[in-house]
Amino acid sequence: MNYSVEDLQSQFQRLRMTETSKELPTFLRKAESNSWTYQEFPRELLTYEERRREEKMIERHLKMAKFPYQKTLEEFDLKEQPSISERQLRQLRELSWLEESFNLIFLGPPGVGKTHIAIGLGLEAILKGYRVLFISMGELIPLLKTEEYLRKSQLQMKKIRDADLVIIDDLMYMAMDQNEANLFFHLVNHLYERSSIILTSNKGPEEWGELLGDQGITTAILDRLLHRSEVLHLDGDSHRIKHRQTLF
């Protein structure tokens, strides 16, 4: 029985090897011109399919992460931030803390690189196959408050709860009422020892009680966040002010 290239492509599609199906004519030409053996030909096909699936997975995870921008750890200038050493950054980049569901808390004034490091670590995690979600505290609170009756909020909160790493930016930048603090506690409690959390904040944990307004909830949140965590203090002047661009 003779099979056409189109027949073979259809079979690959039915096996959900869509990337190989698209490139099959190219591979057939290469196999002929390079005299590939019976082992080389399927190996080339399978390697290509595997690589494309991995690339597409990374693309999906990057889209899901919703980073405000993408900055890698290579782009982080350690000379601008002496509070963190090259060795510490290398250790963080190994992601052993993520494998063990540890939390990271970056504290410091605005513009010292907290969000940059958080996003850089998020990108490293995605490249290693982890699901990451980035959200600011200002975006998170409305989601928590509308989850009960808005489908869009329910879907987004499900992604947050299913993520391996949740990055919450600008934690405690504004005060919360008791209901908001209670909703935030339930999220932290759900993620506790299931996922890792990276928090960035310009206020230390000792100040969170004033912003949450309820000492009991504050203690419960801190208990879960700090139980398995690394707290890093970043100091210095804002790099945005230092490297500001002017119109004139």
Percent of the chain with pLDDT over 90: 49
User: Global pTM?
Assistant: 0.82
Among the ranges 21-30, 75-84, 127-136, which has the highest mean pLDDT value?
127-136
Confidence at residue 236, expressed as pLDDT on a 0 to 100 scale: 63
Residues 6+ apart with CB under 8 A from 110: 202, 238, 240
Under the banding of pLDDT at 50, 70 and 90, the label for residue 126 is: very high
Residue recorded with tokens 């599609």: 13
> Which residue did the predictor score with more confidence, 182 or 205?
182
User: What average pLDDT does range 28-41 have in this prediction?
Assistant: 91
Rounded to the nearest integer, the mean pLDDT of the chain is 87
Q: Quick one: three-class SS letters along the chain?
A: CCCCHHHHHHHHHHCCCHHHHHHHHHHHHHHHHHCCCCCHHHHHHHHHHHHHHHHHHHHHHHHHHCCCCCCCHHHCCHHHCCCCCHHHHHHHHCCHHHHCCCEEEEECCCCCCHHHHHHHHHHHHHHCCCCEEEEEHHHHHHHHHHCCCCHHHHHHHHHHHHCCEEEEECCCCCCCCHHHHHHHHHHHHHHCCCCEEEEEECCCHHHHHHHHCCHHHHHHHHHHHHHCEEEEECCCCCHHHHCCCCCC
Sequence ranges of the domains in the chain: 5-59, 73-242
Under the banding of pLDDT at 50, 70 and 90, the label for residue 157 is: very high
User: What average pLDDT does range 171-190 have in this prediction?
Assistant: 85
The CA distance from 48 to 54, in Å, is: 10
CATH 3.90.230.10 fits 73-242, yes or no: no
- Name which of 190, 220, 193 is nearest 208 in CA terms: 220
Confidence at residue 235, expressed as pLDDT on a 0 to 100 scale: 81
User: What average pLDDT does range 153-163 have in this prediction?
Assistant: 95
Under the banding of pLDDT at 50, 70 and 90, the label for residue 177 is: confident
User: What average pLDDT does range 172-183 have in this prediction?
Assistant: 82
Tens digits of residue pLDDT in 66-114: 999 999 999 988 887 788 888 999 999 999 999 999 999 999 988 888 9
pLDDT tops 90 at residue 216: no
